[in-house]
Chains A and B, each alone.
Chain A
Amino acid sequence: MTLLYSIFVDPFVQMVQMPDLLAQTLWEGLVSGVLYALIALGFVLIFKASGVFNFAQGIMVVFSGLTLVGLYEKFAAAGFSGPLAAFTALALAVLVMLILAMVIERTVLRPLVNQPDIILFMATFGVTYLLIGFGEMVFGGDPKQMITDQLFLPRGAYDVAMLGGHVSFQKIDIAATVIASLMIAGLAIFFQKTRIGRALRAVADSHKAALSVGISLNQIWVIVWFAAGVVALVTGIMWGARSDVSFALQIVALKAFPVLILGGFTSVPGAIVGGLIIGIGEKLGEFYWGPLVGGGIESWLAYVIALLFLLYRPQGLFGDKIIERI
């Protein structure tokens, strides 16, 4: 009876009694949800356009962030520091992501075209290993501080008195949410309104049909991997600013998987909504129900939430309906 009480009644009583704590938890969940959604967005872009389940997205986040910080450190060592150097490094990091996209397209995607999905999935594992080794060799394996000040990202927190208590909003979190929203809006416009965006959607619908009307698949793949790389870079900056840039981030990036299955592999809105559901659900669960079983349930709660949704809708919340033919 006490157990049932502590599962079904007590958490809600707490929520009502201390609304400021609830608001804080919801905000934290929202922010981590936005970051999950950003990683998931990179996955979805690539999956839609090339059908590749890109395991390397997580490491691309780390690698791009590391490239940015590493380049800036190299500049600073040469006596060239400040905002100008930071933005030069940013531009160079974008360039590195473009080169990476081209190299991956040339060496991985093109030779493996028409192979089963699982082979392509494994190939992105190979890319992951390569990037881990390369990143550590060039920039070193220790965690690095993100260059927030030089990129004009805010620091500190707003303490807002509300709901009978204090809720603190980290400025970087607000900035992350705003930038993520802007980027998602930008991507949506790019997809809907531009010529390349239309070509991307055509490829996502059907490779063969797109080829037959003269769309170059190889070009589209480079563009889409580059777009995913830029998304990864933004994610890396935001996430790096919240903690630091290290290879531990790639474990966090695994959290994007439940977001993906929740939202569906092919749906951009799904990635965003899924990210928010997972982020908020995970924080609420950890905060209110976690102590019952000794805490630490954040590591698997997201997967269980996603699994429950899946049993109800196997194609995810927004995924295309799976039609099977014999």
Chain B
Amino acid sequence: MFYREAGQFKQSYAADQAIFPIRQDRIGLAVILLIAFVGIPLFGNEFLLASVMVPFLILALGAIGLNLLTGYAGLLSLGTAGFMGVGAYAAYKLSTIFPEVNILVWILCSGFFAAAVGAVFGLPSSRIKGFYLAVATLAAQFFLQWCFVRWSWLYNDNASGAIEVPARTLFGIAITGPSATPVTRYLVVLTIVVVMTLIASNIVHGRIGRSWMAVRDMDIAAQLMGIRLLPVKLLAFAVSSFYCGVAGALMVFLWLGAAEPAAFDINLSFVLLFMVIIGGLGSLIGSFFGAALIHILPIAIRMLPDALGLSIGAATVEHLTFMIVGALIIFFLVVEPHGLARLWQIGKQKLRVWPFPY
């Protein structure tokens, strides 16, 4: 009764094809965006903005990238962190070679470098799939990480081997570097993530997304229906890597401020895969749920003992966090293997028929 589409008539094809055809969805989205763009910057403190929201949004963008590849095109990848690293290093090189061009342009352009690298490492997908492909993408992960360490041109021969973000401005306001305030960084990240999510939504609802899903569900059948597998799979790799590359560039420029090659190690790939699977394969909103759960949960667990007035050693809390996260992963998989997005759908359905059970 709260969430009924009865009485909302679509009178044009455009209305029927809208991303949010139901009025309640549009209102809900507007409220969320209002809170995100106005409420949180006004009332959030520095910790919330810099340590919770910015990482959450960036990880969600990376998770969307992986979800396009794994959830929509059905190609399992463990090289996500490597592609994020490509984006970060490309943005760093571009912004130091051409400092006069706006940094946002370079952050978005770095995605194309990641896309090219991703497409190259996607070539084995023409022959192999499933877990075999996952291991093949591990080759990308380790090779790229080795490049970040050994190829000193990439980090301008810094003695530390790390990349440091130069200070850059947009309309006279510092958005990267140490002088940028958390609020501006948060707003920049939020804008990019919202726009790119919208684009991703359009991609997956269109012809390209449908061909990805056909390949995912059964590639031979898709081939018989006239979908050329290799271009479609490579496109999935390229688009996914584009998203991951932008997420990586944002991660270094607007979150960490400086990064060593170890920031893009295999653990980041696994964490992103968690987010996608816990959130829900083949669901954009699931990527946000997954990122929220996996990123914010450990922070919450670490804060819990203080809040309850218990004194537990820091090491013990760390171990407990590991155990709780592990147990929760298993718990969520057992309760709802289709991820949090599925729970969200079930919740919406319940709201729709409330107060009746079905």
Q: Which residues of A contact B (CB under 8 A)?
A: 53, 107-108, 111-112, 115-119, 121-123, 125-134, 136-137, 141, 251, 254, 257-258, 260-261, 265, 293-297, 299-300, 303-304, 306-307, 310-311, 314-316, 324, 326
Contacts and interface: CB of A to CB of B under 8 A. Distances in A.
Interface string B247-289: 0000000000000000000100010011001100100000000
Contacts of B128: 310-311, 314
Interface in B111-166: 124, 127-128, 130-132, 135-136, 138-139, 142-143, 145-146, 149-150
B139 A137 contact: no
Given A258-B135, A300-B142, A307-B136, A132 B322 contact: yes
A141 B322 CA distance: 13
B346 to A, nearest CB: 18
A265 B129 CA distance: 13
B135 A293 contact: no
B221 interface: yes
A326 B130 CA distance: 17
Contacts of A132: 322, 326
A129 B146 contact: no
Contacts of A307: 124, 136, 139
Nearest to A115: B337
B334 A128 contact: no
Q: Which 5 A-B pairs have the closest CB atoms?
A: A129-B326, A133-B322, A303-B139, A133-B323, A126-B329
23 contacts: A107-B330, A108-B334, A117-B130, A119-B337, A121-B131, A125-B274, A125-B326, A127-B326, A129-B322, A129-B329, A130-B326, A133-B319, A133-B323, A136-B318, A136-B319, A254-B266, A258-B138, A261-B132, A265-B132, A295-B150, A300-B146, A307-B136, A311-B127
A131 B145 CA distance: 27
A260 B224 CA distance: 31
A119 B132 CA distance: 16
Interface of B: 70, 76, 124, 127-128, 130-132, 135-136, 138-139, 142-143, 145-146, 149-150, 218, 220-221, 224, 266, 270, 273-274, 277-278, 281, 315-316, 318-330, 333-334, 337
A131 B327 CA distance: 10
A129 B278 CA distance: 15
A129 B323 contact: yes
A114 B67 CA distance: 23
B326 A133 contact: yes
B132 A310 contact: yes
Contact of B320 (A119, A137, A254): A137
A116 B316 CA distance: 34
Nearest to A128: B326
B250 to A, nearest CB: 25
B270 A304 contact: no
A296 B148 CA distance: 12
A115 to B, nearest CB: 5
B316 A137 contact: yes
A137 B319 contact: yes
**Chain A CB within 10 Å, residue with most, of B130, B138, B224, B281:** B138
Nearest to A312: B127
**Chain A CB within 10 Å, residue with most, of B145, B277, B320, B321:** B277
Contacts of B266: 251, 254
B329 A122 contact: yes
Contact of B139 (A126, A133, A304, A326): A304
B223 to A, nearest CB: 10
B131 A123 contact: no
A194 B135 CA distance: 34
A49 B128 CA distance: 23
Contacts of A300: 139, 142-143, 146
Contacts of B323: 129-130, 133-134, 137
Contact of A299 (B124, B142, B278): B142
Nearest to A119: B337
Contacts of A129: 322-323, 325-326, 329
A300 B78 CA distance: 14
A136 B330 contact: no
A53 B274 contact: no
Contacts of B70: 118
A261 B135 contact: yes
A119 B330 contact: no
**Chain A CB within 10 Å, residue with most, of B70, B220, B329:** B329
B294 to A, nearest CB: 11
A324 B191 CA distance: 44
Contacts of B131: 53, 117, 121, 261, 265
A302 B124 CA distance: 16
Contacts of A134: 319, 323
Contacts of A130: 322-323, 326-327, 330
Nearest to B270: A125
Contacts of A133: 319-324, 326
A310 B329 contact: no
A326 B142 contact: no
A229 B127 CA distance: 33
A53 B321 CA distance: 25
**Chain B CB within 10 Å, residue with most, of A117, A125, A265:** A125
Contacts of B329: 122-123, 125-126, 129
A314 B337 CA distance: 29
A107 B333 CA distance: 11
Nearest to A261: B135
A326 B315 CA distance: 52
A272 to B, nearest CB: 18
Contact of B146 (A107, A299, A306): A299
A127 B327 CA distance: 8
